[in-house]
Structure 1
Amino acid sequence: MDVGIFGNAGAGKSTLFRALSGVREGSPQGKNAGVCVIKVPDERVDRLAEVFRPKKVTHLTIAFHDIDAGETDLLSPQALAELRSVEVLALVVRAFADDYHPAPPGGLDPVAEFRDLSSSIVLSDYIVAQKRIERMTKEARRDAEWTGLHKAIDAFEKEVPLRDVELSAEEDRALSGFRFVSRLPVLLVMNVGEEGVTGEPYPEVTKEAAKAKVPMVRLCAKVEEEIAQLSPAEQVDFLKGMGIARSARDQLVRGAFEATRYISFLTVGEDEVRAWNIREGGSASAAAGRIHSDLEKGFIRAEVISCDDFLRCGSMAKAKTEGKLRLEGKEYVVKDGEIVHVRFNV
């Protein structure tokens, strides 16, 4: 999963990125500067690895991209190109002020900042859609792309993002090539000061997130950057001392999954124990395709058991005798934390 961290200058998005990557400010970076890949912690994977002792253990990973706003235009062509390459958009808004970063003349207003960012994104999509409609009008084309674009433009004119527009499957496919940014799932990140770590500053932001139907994370990027320089043991003590329930890394991972409505399923064996992600509501056939396209093409049945049931039984043989290991068809909806073994024939 690729998550783009984006916001206005001074919101603290680069500080947040350093907190995630563990890179100190001013440290030399290579060609992958601005991208950090982190392993998604999953106790189920670790416990299954203890049982199977595989040659390889593979956790899910998330790549965070620090996307810079344009110097004169927030959504410069380069920024838009980078935003269109990610799967989730983490919008960082400022809710802190200190001696080095005083509040702007009008004061801090993270709700207005979030709305402005959202409006700018919708406007950029509107311009793209409008240009395409003008061209199609001259060509006299009337198809799924035409109807989908008209639905999109109607929404954009009301400042409604494309992710909130109901499209048919055909319309969705027709518009997918445009990579509209407002189609991306959004995670709202409120960057607070140290004093806001344990309280609930700006409660109106929580209401705005609920209204926009996006998950929200409250954190202090400055504190998280300091935590990232500590050893794992020291990090636990520091978080506890500050009264922080979860680190920024953990919060953003959870928030990204919530925004995308992803769940994870597992495959196990002596060669590898691995976690995979799939959209909530995804079928056993789709899960097979995540593993390998041949498994989806030749799908016969899937052997399915919840991770908790397997760990209680201790082995697949015992799980089978207790009726916990089930055979499911291609339309079966895979649930979070299930172990899936695909029977196939190609």
Structure 2
Amino acid sequence: MKKFLLQGLIVLAVAAFGVRNELQQVLLVQMKLPDTYLELRPGSNLSSLCRQWQQQQLLTAWQCQQLKLQSLLNPQLRQLQAGVYAVQPMRLQQLLQLLRSGKVAQFSLTIREGQTFAQNLQQLQQLPYLDADVADTDKARQLLQWPADWGTKPVSAEALVFPDTYFYTAHTKLSVVLQRANQVLLNKLDAAWQSKQGGLPLQNRYELLTLASIVEKETGHLPEKPLIAAVFINRLQSKMKLQTDPTVIYGLGDRYQGDIKREHLKDPHPYNTYVYAGLPPGPIALVSLGSLQAAAQPAQSDKLYFVAKGDGTHQFSQSLAEHNKAVQQYIFGKKS
């Protein structure tokens, strides 16, 4: 009798092992997922996921039943964490491990130098999984900081965020990312101000940032930035008007249609550096670190003029006669 009982127990154990082994096979199913994102909302569970995967024809009803039985043997399979996950073709076991790990997807956004804040904001508002809770530049200016001992808070958001690539997780508020970019800007601007050359005709950090924005718009060629900055510093020290087209274009706003005209240079808006001496009222674009450093540490130069050569670089001149000759060569194609 004991012999038969022992044999029966062995048979049951073997059968149970076989069932368990068969149930484990479902975890090896290859989930033919595209490279995409899977959002597991709060309150989702293994049953709701199974229904979703059946609808997507990733699992059969039988495989879902096997998975539910497997989860009874291994309760940790049901311990899923809400979030948005980056998924790709993988085995079911790997997918469930990911959904239990809480290692949610990281997204990136880029705030671009040389653009206005409004141009950047329009692009940021379209990004996936980002809660665009900032409607316009006025709201952005309200939430961003400017130290009280640095003077009056800037009237434009161009002076309040640093262009860079920032990372966020799904459903992060845009305002949170902008506040991060605001703090980076304040830190870098303060560092540039603390390290600036002595004797520069700049009264405060805001003027440094304003000059840097002009450098940003005048050249994207990093080695030239300190020399471009030197030209404007020399003009400020010589009481010459800056006469830089990007400030005119910024002040025109929507009136600028891609072609700067003679009447634009006479337009009396406050950013017109052909009409008014000194720096414009504020920055005209978001400023990269290279432009900020160039404004704080301009090259040692006596140049007062420059003209684009058409290859991304500029020809610099000390006298107006030299400059006019360079204009004839590089703008009108006339060689002396």
User: In which range does the TM-score fall when normalised by the shorter chain?
Assistant: under 0.3
Choose between structure 1 and 2: higher strand proportion. Answer: 1
| Superposition TM-score, scaled by structure 1 size | 0.21
Give 1 or 2: higher helix fraction: 2
Under a length normalisation based on structure 2, what TM-score does the superposition of the two structures give?
A: 0.21
Greater RCO between the two (CA within 8 Å, min separation 6)? 1
- Mark the structure with the bigger radius of gyration: 2
